[in-house]
Amino acid sequence: MQTFKFPRPGALLACCALLLVAVACQDDDSNTSDNNQHVNDWILENMQAWYLWNDELPTETNKNLAPADYFSSLLYDGDRFSWIQDNYQELLNSLQGVSKEAGYEFALYRDSNSQNNVIAQILYVKPDSPAEKAGLKRGDIITQVNNTTITISNYQTVLSALDENHSVTYRALDVESESLADPATVSLTTQEYHENPNYFHSVIQTGDHKIGYYVYNFFASGAGSGNEYDTEMESIINGFKTAGITDLVLDLRFNSGGSEVSALSLASLLGADVDNTKVFMRKEYNDEVEQEILNDPDLGPGILTVNFTSKAANVGSQLQNHRLYILTGSRTASASELIINGLRPYMEVLLVGDTTYGKNVGSVSLYDDKDATNKWGMQPIVVKVYNSQNQSDYDGGFYPNIIDPDNALLLYPLGDTREALLAKAIGHITGEGTIGRTGLADRPLIAHSLDRKKRSFQLTVDDRVFRTLTKQ
C-alpha cells in the first residue's frame, strides 16, 4: 500500500539550498520568478497534504503566479476561510491578538442625515490603548478620518488609513442626556498592541438572581507562547463560582474565533456536569490525513475526539436550570460557535442577539521557519468539527432565541444593565421582560472593523496531528 507523504522540513531545506545556488547569477526578475515558484511548490505540497478539500484541488496550476494569487487559485469554491500572508510571524501574532492599531473597534452605518455619508460607531475601546488615552469610548460616532468625510463610495479607502497614525473627527456620546457633543478631532498613533481577550466581567444582583456577566472577545491562550489569558479566564470563572452566581451571561457578540485550546478551556469551565470523560468535539480531516492518524502509534483514533477537561472552577453545574445565556452578533464565529455547538448536548444554551456567522471548520498555521527564502505563512482549512452528537449543521449560523440586531443608536457601556442585549438577557432571567430602553434603529450594517482582522473567523486547531505526522 502506498504511504501518504507529508511535507518534511528537511525536504524544504534541501530545495532551499538548491534554489540559492541556482539563482545566484540571475537578475531581479528571474529571482522573483524563481522564488515565486519555490514558494508555490511549498504551497501546493502542503495543500495536497493537509487541505480538507484536497480532492478538489485543480489538476493544472500556474506556478508563475505571485504566491497569494497562486494560493487563491487552489481554493475550493465553497471555501470562504483559508488565507495566506507574506509574513508568517505577523500571521502568528495576529492570531494571538497582537497587531498594529490605535485600539478601537467599530461598525459602519449610513448617516441618517445624508444619502451618501457613512458613520463609524465605536463598539468598544481597548484598555490602555491610544484610543482610550485620547478619550474615545463606546457609542462615539466618527464622521471623518484624516479630515476626509466617510462616504459610501470611499469608506474602504478611508478606513485603510487606520493602520497608520491618523486623526478622527467624532461626536462624543453622553448616554445620560442621550445626546451627541459637537464634533471634535483627535490624533491617534498606532502601536503594536497586545490585546487581552478577557475584556470585562462583573456580578449583577437583581432580586434573587446573582448574574455573572463576562465579555470575552477572542480565543487566545496568551501573548506569544504564554497561557496568561487562559489563566485569567479561569480566575474570572472561579470568581463567579465563589460569588455564588445563579446565572451567567457570556458576551461573544464581538468574538469571531481563535484557538481550539482556549475554546476547550472555556467550555470546560462553563459546561454543566462535564469532565474529562465527556466529549466536547469530534474532528474530521481529509481521507489521507485520517488514514495516517489511524496508522500512527503516537496518534490513533482517539486523537479525533476531544474531551472536556475536568476543572475545579467549573460553574456550569450551579447555574439555574443548567442554562447559559450567550450574547451573539453577526460576527460571532468559528470558535465561538464551537462553544455553542459543543455545550448544547449538556445544557440549555440560549442565544440573545443576531444570527451568528456560520463556520464549522478549522485551520492550522503552516510555515517554514528554517527557509530563509520563504517568509510566507498560510492558514488553510484542514478539519470539520462536530459535537458529541455528531452535529455540525451550522454553516448558516445559529439563529438567536431572542432577536436583537444590536444596532441601537444609543450604545450604553458594556455591563450597564440598560445595554440592549444584556437588558434582554436579564429580562429573560428574571421573567420581567426587557429593562431599560433598547433604542432599535432601522439601519443595516455596512461593514465591521473585525472584518479587517486576520484573526477573525478562525478556529485554529491544536497542531499535535501536524507536529506528529511531520516529525523527522
Distances (CA, A) of 466 to 47, 257, 279, 300, 459: 13, 20, 22, 13, 15
| pLDDT tops 80 at residue 462 | yes
Q: Are strands 104-110 and 198-206 parallel, antiparallel or unpaired?
A: unpaired
Cell of 264: 476547550
pLDDT value of position 472:
41
Minimum mean pLDDT among 59-68, 343-352, 405-414, 459-468: which range? 459-468
| pLDDT tops 90 at residue 236 | yes
| pLDDT tops 80 at residue 469 | yes
pLDDT value of position 288:
97
pLDDT value of position 4:
40
Confidence of residue 225 (pLDDT cuts 50, 70, 90): confident
SS3 content of the chain, % helix, strand, coil (to 5): 30, 25, 45
Cell of 47: 495543500
Confidence of residue 374 (pLDDT cuts 50, 70, 90): very high
* Coil/strand/helix, residue 180: strand
Distances (CA, A) of 282 to 54, 220, 299, 304: 20, 20, 14, 6
Separation of alpha carbons 155 and 120, rounded Å: 10
Rounded to 5 degrees, φ, ψ at 174 are: -110, 105
Architecture of domain 99-193: Roll (2.30)
pLDDT, mean of residues 151-180: 96
* Coil/strand/helix, residue 99: strand
- Which of 2, 4, 1 minimizes the C-alpha distance to 285? 4
pLDDT value of position 438:
46
The number of helix segments (H) and strand segments (E) in the chain equals 12, 26
DSSP state of 382: E
Give the model confidence (pLDDT) of 22-69 as tens digits.
Answer: 334 445 555 677 789 999 999 999 999 999 999 999 999 999 999 999
- Which of 302, 231, 301 minimizes the C-alpha distance to 261? 231
Tell me, letter by letter, the H, E, C secondary structure of 107-124: EEEECCCCCCEEEEEEEE
pLDDT value of position 384:
97
| pLDDT tops 70 at residue 6 | no
Minimum mean pLDDT among 189-193, 364-368, 457-461: which range? 457-461
Strand partners, 348: 323
pLDDT value of position 441:
55
Instruction: Please state which of the four CATH numbers 3.40.1350.10, 3.30.479.30, 3.90.226.10, 3.30.930.10 is assigned to the domain occupying 196-441.
Output: 3.90.226.10
Separation of alpha carbons 119 and 151, rounded Å: 8
Separation of alpha carbons 204 and 213, rounded Å: 7
Q: Helix crossing, 67-74 with 28-50: angle to 10°?
A: 30
- Which of 249, 266, 235, 267 minimizes the C-alpha distance to 203? 249
H or E, element range at 250: strand 247-251
Separation of alpha carbons 301 and 293, rounded Å: 7
| pLDDT tops 80 at residue 291 | yes
The CA radius of gyration of the chain, in Å to the nearest whole number, is 24
The domain limits of the chain are: 9-95, 99-193, 196-441
Strand partners, 206: 209
CATH topology identical between 99-193 and 196-441: no
